């Protein structure tokens, strides 16, 4: 079974600085998808960024980018120019490329942004 | 706003009772997923429906059941409730049950069992 590990339960960053959240996963599949979701205090799950395993190029979405290392099974999220609104719980998630489309989530990293 | 709606927002009930959680997917989405978020287990996949048919099951208890109706809304039924069922229940939807689709989440239903 696939597992997703987020080794940093909590992280903090100063406003306008850069922070990197770590995620590793375990899978025997070659085709899969990886996601970062953000859960602010409102509890809404918001998609931040996604990465297809077959793509070598790292995904970027404005201030958010990933460092996808397929051989190392690592998928970290970099947040540049951190803003107060970035404070939230961040979840890394895995989905296989087969017929089961469930998301497997890590335990999450709570990000605090200090003014 | 993801376009996925869930009702009710909050639900407080007693042990042994039965409740129904409702989800309306985004317009055009045919696939619905249910997830449970608890302090003990984190975020866990429960069940998936596509166009009215069950497609995949996760760690869903036998006391729980779900269905997707012809208008594509879905209901999650929880019966013989226990204290440990207290959690945030999310519904997510995607256009198709394909690997390329992203799942968009609703705001969740907070269930408290007393």
Which residues of chain A does B105 touch, with a Cβ-Cβ cutoff of 8 Å? 37, 44-47
Rounded Cα gap, residues A90 and A106, in angstroms: 9
**pLDDT 10s digit of each residue in chain B, 114 long?**
889 999 999 999 999 999 999 999 999 899 999 999 998 889 999 999 999 999 989 989 999 999 999 999 999 999 999 999 999 999 999 987 666 678 999 999 999 999
> For chain A, give me the number of helices (H) and strands (E)?
0, 12
Which residues of chain B does A50 touch, with a Cβ-Cβ cutoff of 8 Å? 102
Question: Which candidate from B2, B35, B97 shows the least CB-CB separation from A101?
Answer: B97
Q: Using the beta-carbon criterion (under 8 Å), do A43 and B110 form an inter-chain contact?
A: yes
Q: Which residue of B has its CA nearest to A107?
A: B42
**Exposed, middle or buried, B90 (CB in 10 Å: 0-12/13-18/19+)?**
buried
């Amino acid at each position: 079974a696939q597992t997703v590990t987020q080794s940093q339960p909590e992280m903090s960053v100063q406003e306008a600085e850069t922070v990197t959240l770590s995620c590793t996963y375990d899978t025997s599949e070659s085709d899969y998808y990886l996601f970062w979701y953000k859960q602010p205090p409102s509890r809404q799950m918001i998609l931040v960024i996604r990465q297809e395993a077959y793509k070598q190029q790292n995904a970027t979405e404005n201030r958010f980018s990933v460092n996808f290392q397929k051989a190392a099974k690592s998928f970290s999220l970099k947040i540049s120019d951190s803003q107060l609104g970035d404070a939230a719980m961040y979840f890394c998630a895995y989905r296989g490329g087969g017929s089961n489309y469930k998301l497997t989530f890590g335990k999450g990293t709570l990000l605090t942004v200090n003014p | 706003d993801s376009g996925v709606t869930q009702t009710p927002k909050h639900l407080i009930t007693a042990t042994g009772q039965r409740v129904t959680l409702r989800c309306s997917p985004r317009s055009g989405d045919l696939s619905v997923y249910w997830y449970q978020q608890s302090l003990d287990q984190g975020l866990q996949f429960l069940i998936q429906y596509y166009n009215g048919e069950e497609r995949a099951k996760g760690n869903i208890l036998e006391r729980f059941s779900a269905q997707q109706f012809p208008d594509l809304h879905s209901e999650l039924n929880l019966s013989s409730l226990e204290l440990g069922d207290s959690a945030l229940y999310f519904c997510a939807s995607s256009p198709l049950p394909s690997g390329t689709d992203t799942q968009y989440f609703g705001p969740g239903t907070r269930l408290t069992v007393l």
